[in-house]
């Protein structure tokens, strides 16, 4: 049984990750932003402990950290940086505030939490950090410049932390989902989703459970010799 902290656990991929870890008997706390109803549902279903906090705000994370440790009964041994937001518009229309919000939420939050979580992990000489990137961070998405840039940054964060923290027994990896059937893609109409499924070599959209299985594996003892890797969970889309 490990103590696990998951960001963005109230919905979509994060909720599936919460389920995957609690089903294995781990003690799980998760962060979410404002959707209290969804967070309450996931907590009731899984027994995981919900905390409302804006992950893009380092002060808010610092303020809530002690409460998380108290609830978990110790520091997280596994950190899953999953919370994220997307934004679609031409690059020339991306204003400064949107650029910063996308970078802060999708990239800086993973850095802030990794910075906090690594200290007790180093003390224990064991830890797992898994970042949830995107295939768009690998191949770039038209009209998603801030999102793609943030997700590409997660690749650098993953590799750099893997080198720095490896000697302390901590692995750091990244999963890069393709098109997954969650609220994030509810902006697309059915025809667009069908076209995206057709463009995917495996011929379907991914499920949150597809991604959760990969995250669970990278956090497991079976993945002890894997670090600094970005694993595509995209049905072959980004080949
Ligand atoms: P959803 O929109 O379904 O859920 C997003 C989650 O992140 C929610 O739990 C939300 O909380 C939380 N969140 C958003 N902003 C903040 C914030 N500032 N502070 C705290 N929590 C926040 O997204 P998905 O499940 O689809 O995506 C999860 C991750 O997977 C993201 O990083 C995304 O970029 C990545 N991804 C998704 C893909 C897809 O096709 N769906 C493809 C590739 C990558 P609340 O419920 O309170 O709003």
Calculate the alpha carbon distances from 87 to 96, 103, 159, 231 in Å.
13, 11, 26, 23
Order of all β-strands in the sheet with 78-81: 49-52, 27-32, 3-7, 78-81, 127-132, 170-177, 230-233
pLDDT tier, 31 (very low <50, low <70, confident <90, very high otherwise): very high
d(CA 35, CA 55): 14
**Site residues for ligand 1, CB cut-off 6 Å:** 7-14, 31-35, 38, 54-56, 82-85, 105, 132, 134, 177, 179-180, 182-185
Q: Which residues belong to the active site?
A: 147
pLDDT at 232: 98
Total count of residues recorded for the chain: 239
Mean pLDDT of 141-160: 98
Mean pLDDT of 187-191: 94
pLDDT at 42: 99
Contact criterion met (CB below 8 Å) for 179 and 12: no
List 28's β-bridge partners, or say none: 4
Mean pLDDT (the chain, rounded) = 98
Q: What percent of the chain has pLDDT over 90?
A: 100
pLDDT tier, 222 (very low <50, low <70, confident <90, very high otherwise): very high
């Amino acid at each position: 049984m490990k103590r696990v902290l998951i960001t963005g656990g109230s919905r979509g991929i994060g909720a599936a990750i919460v389920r995957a870890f609690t089903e294995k008997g781990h003690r799980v706390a998760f962060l979410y932003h404002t959707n209290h109803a969804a967070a309450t549902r996931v907590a009731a279903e899984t027994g995981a402990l919900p905390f409302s906090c804006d992950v893009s705000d380092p002060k808010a994370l610092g303020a809530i950290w002690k409460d998380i440790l108290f609830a978990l009964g110790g520091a997280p041994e596994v950190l899953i940086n999953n919370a994220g937001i997307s934004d679609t518009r031409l690059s020339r229309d991306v204003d400064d505030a949107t650029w910063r919000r996308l970078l802060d939420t999708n990239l800086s939050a993973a850095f802030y939490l990794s910075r906090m979580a690594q200290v007790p992990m180093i003390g224990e000489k064991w830890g797992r950090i898994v970042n949830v990137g995107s295939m768009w961070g690998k191949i770039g998405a038209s009209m998603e410049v801030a999102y793609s840039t943030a997700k590409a940054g997660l690749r650098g964060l993953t590799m750099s932390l893997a080198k720095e923290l490896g000697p302390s027994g901590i692995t750091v990896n990244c999963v890069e989902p393709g098109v997954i059937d969650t609220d994030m893609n509810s902006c697309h109409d059915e025809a667009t989703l069908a076209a995206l499924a057709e463009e995917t070599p495996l011929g379907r959209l991914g499920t949150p459970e597809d991604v959760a299985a990969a995250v669970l594996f990278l956090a497991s003892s079976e993945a002890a010799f894997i670090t600094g890797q970005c694993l595509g969970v995209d049905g072959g889309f980004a080949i």
